[in-house]
Structure 1
């Protein structure tokens, strides 16, 4: 065997473990393939209407404002936000309840108010969100203080 062939064989033998170690991290369950929610609010994306970044902004214990975005995955039919209920809380919706086909409804103008003992910064409030057509969504909405990124949210 000549010197060039020996050097080539040695180079391949040395780099092969490095190449296979680099490829061993690849797979179908990699963290980059998982859903990631960089926001404080919670998401529910299992139905025809996605509830995105749902949270409650509270300036005083016992009352707050619901903030959420509802995305209609149905491209042909609009839907509507028919109600929000929760154990130990009352939720009053504003006039904006229509979710256009393939569109979104953002509730962040102070029109959806939440009152009850659980509405206090640091708590989670169990909410069930119902729609005219889509299936209901149940989630645990965090209560955040009326400060920092949420200081511009109108609160009751």
Structure 2
């Protein structure tokens, strides 16, 4: 009889322990949580989610905001202002985000930023939306290397309109036309030799500048491998 009682008690304990362990887990399973893997910063506290927000720096103090905006509302919204207590500014037209829609800041629009920052910094930015919500983010600054080489970095100048660019080309073409054959004959073989020498010297200067320039923006030959992938 004692032997049977011990077996029954052991069976009862095996039946109770798993049930108690499962009840302690609750309903907040890790697989149910949002997991956005990105090099930038994420904020889902507002009606418009800011995902993978980064500054892609093209030079010291210059760059563009990249990442994604996802509108959780049925109504349209917009990113109206990007500001910083550290003096970083952004001059852009409001970025419209359709209801239940998304905007990729790297491909759909350009939000240029400028200020006292360089690659490797973390810049505090305030993103203000049309509904009055402001998201305060600590935004990393990255350089145009590896996966960022596909993002356009030739930002349009706010002081130069498309019509001005077109008129500049027309003036250049007119100037070349007035020079005509006289300028071509005047160049001759000596000018061709001088041009070759100048081009060679310019290439040497560019190579030297690239080698001894701002190392902050130099790209490694190979992208860093993920930790543990050796």
Q: CA deviation at 1:66?
A: 0.8
Structure 1: distance between partners of 2:135 and 2:76: 17
Q: CA deviation at 1:59?
A: 3.6
Q: CA deviation at 1:96?
A: 6.8
Q: Does 1:9 pair with 2:15?
A: no
Q: Which residue of structure 1 lines up, in the alignment, with residue 37 of structure 2?
A: 38
Q: Which residue of structure 1 lines up, in the alignment, with residue 152 of structure 2?
A: 154
Q: CA RMSD in A?
A: 3.1
Q: CA deviation at 1:84?
A: 0.8
The answer as to whether partners of 1:49 and 1:134 remain within 8 angstroms in 2 is: no
Gaps of 5+ in 1: none
Evaluate the alpha carbon distance shift between residue 96 and residue 131 of structure 1 in structure 2; reply closer, same or farther with a 3 A threshold: closer
- Structure in which a larger fraction of residues adopt helix: 2
Q: Does 1:70 pair with 2:87?
A: no
The answer as to whether partners of 2:78 and 2:94 remain within 8 angstroms in 1 is: no
The answer as to whether partners of 1:48 and 1:134 remain within 8 angstroms in 2 is: no
Of residues 72, 77, 80 in structure 2, which corresponds to 1:79? 77
Q: Which residue of structure 2 lines up, in the alignment, with residue 115 of structure 1?
A: 114
Structure 2: distance between partners of 1:149 and 1:17: 52
The answer as to whether partners of 1:61 and 1:121 remain within 8 angstroms in 2 is: yes
2:150 is paired with a residue whose SS is coil
Give me the TM-score of the superposition, normalised by structure 2. 0.55
User: Highest relative contact order (Cα 8 Å, sep 6+), 1 or 2?
Assistant: 1
Evaluate the alpha carbon distance shift between residue 101 and residue 134 of structure 1 in structure 2; reply closer, same or farther with a 3 A threshold: farther
Give me the TM-score of the superposition, normalised by structure 1. 0.76
Matches within 5 A, 1:99-110: 99-109=97-107
Gaps of 5+ in 2: 155-230
The answer as to whether partners of 1:79 and 1:134 remain within 8 angstroms in 2 is: no
Evaluate the alpha carbon distance shift between residue 46 and residue 137 of structure 1 in structure 2; reply closer, same or farther with a 3 A threshold: same
Evaluate the alpha carbon distance shift between residue 148 and residue 14 of structure 1 in structure 2; reply closer, same or farther with a 3 A threshold: farther
**Residue deviations 1:56-90 (CA, integer Å, cap 9, x gap):** 11242221221021111111x21122111122212
State the number of aligned residues.
152
- Structure in which a larger fraction of residues adopt strand: 1
Q: Which residue of structure 1 lines up, in the alignment, with residue 89 of structure 2?
A: 90
2:73 is paired with a residue whose SS is coil
Q: CA deviation at 1:123?
A: 1.1
Q: CA deviation at 1:139?
A: 0.9
